[in-house]
Amino acid sequence: MRIAVTGSSGLVGKALVESLLRGGHEVVRLVRRATSAKDEVQWDPAGGQIDTASLEGLDAVVHLAGENIATGRWTAAKMERIRSSRVQGTRVLCEALAGLQQKPTSLVCASAIGFYGDRMHEKLTEQTPRGTGFLADVCADWEAACEPAREALIRVVNLRIGVVLSAKGGALSAMLAPFKLGLGGNMGNGRQFWSWITLRDLVAAIEHCLVTTQLEGPVNAVSPKPATNAQFTKALGRVLGRPTLLPMPAPVARIVLGKMADSLILASANVFPKELEYSGFTFHDTEIEPALRHVLGKS
């Protein structure tokens, strides 16, 4: 297939592009800088500009671009970038796709399990209504921004992604240094659920969504076995062979991380991938400790 990818320089985008190329697909990368290769197309999501002529004849699109939510304190300006980079960028892309003469048949658009908000131990599936809070609002608007593509009869999958486990970036990479020093521990009370997925399973899930026509609308991209923060912490300590005795109480997390703490670290989302499972997707990694061993090369 001929597949366009936004966010191709990010953690997930790089891994996806490599996998698609290995599979014999042609990849078109949408980039915000000046193009430097024949497989690149320039776009300016903030300015509403995109080279639509270069998008004619695509079979599918994977939209991963957006401001990194896990870096920097959540100032008012940062939160606006988080929102606008997703909502505005998605709307610009979907309006462009809808206007093509030769439209792609499918669009896999990243979203996040932040859609569900902080739900304690409630079991969350794709049928669960949205939660409350900043990330829930962002995710709802992000998914709604795909409407021009849906109206153009493009099959849209909103992939609600959990905590992505990789040693190359993301939350796990940021946690490794203190844990290796024996400074790791529970965050908050440790009872909050972290719904996670390994990078290799996420890439496989995206590729599965590209070719599985029964999938449409929200699809949770998480392992079928969520872990609490305490379970995650203990497993990571065992994998690294380090103690995990230094907790970070909720008030301290809020001081250190600001508004990010309640949305990303202390919130509980017990999410299950029902749509992926129903469609026949098979996970490589379902248990947290073996998954961490694989990701960190400790297996």
The per-residue pLDDT for range 192-202, each reduced to its tens digit, is 999 999 999 99
Backbone angles phi, psi at 182, to 5 degrees: 80, 20
pLDDT score for 270: 98
Query: Is 90 exceeded by the pLDDT of residue 262?
Result: no
Average pLDDT over residues 173-192: 91
Q: Give residue 18's pLDDT band: very low, low, confident or very high (50, 70, 90).
A: very high
Average pLDDT over residues 138-148: 98
User: For 78-114, how does the pLDDT look when each residue is reduced to its tens digit (9 = 90+)?
Assistant: 999 999 999 999 999 999 999 999 999 999 999 999 9
Amino acid at 108: V
Looking up tokens 């599985």 gives 212
Q: Give residue 30's pLDDT band: very low, low, confident or very high (50, 70, 90).
A: very high
pLDDT score for 255: 83
pLDDT score for 36: 86
Residue with the larger pLDDT of the pair 56 and 256: 56
Average pLDDT over residues 150-166: 97
pLDDT score for 50: 94
What 3-state DSSP class applies to 3?
strand
Pairing of strands 196-198, 123-124: unpaired
Average pLDDT over residues 206-228: 98
Q: How far apart are CA 190 and CA 254, in angstroms?
A: 15
pLDDT score for 34: 87
Angle at 95 between CA 89 and CA 98, to 5 degrees: 140
Based on its alpha-carbon atoms, the radius of gyration of the chain, rounded to whole angstroms, reads 19
Pairing of strands 106-112, 227-228: unpaired
Among 171-175, 252-256, 273-277, top mean pLDDT goes to 273-277
Cβ atoms 265, 142 nearer than 8 A: no
Query: Is 90 exceeded by the pLDDT of residue 131?
Result: yes
pLDDT score for 259: 83
What integer best gives the mean pLDDT of the chain?
95
pLDDT score for 264: 84
Q: Please give the CATH number for the structural domain made up of 2-295.
A: 3.40.50.720
Average pLDDT over residues 121-146: 97
Q: Give residue 254's pLDDT band: very low, low, confident or very high (50, 70, 90).
A: confident
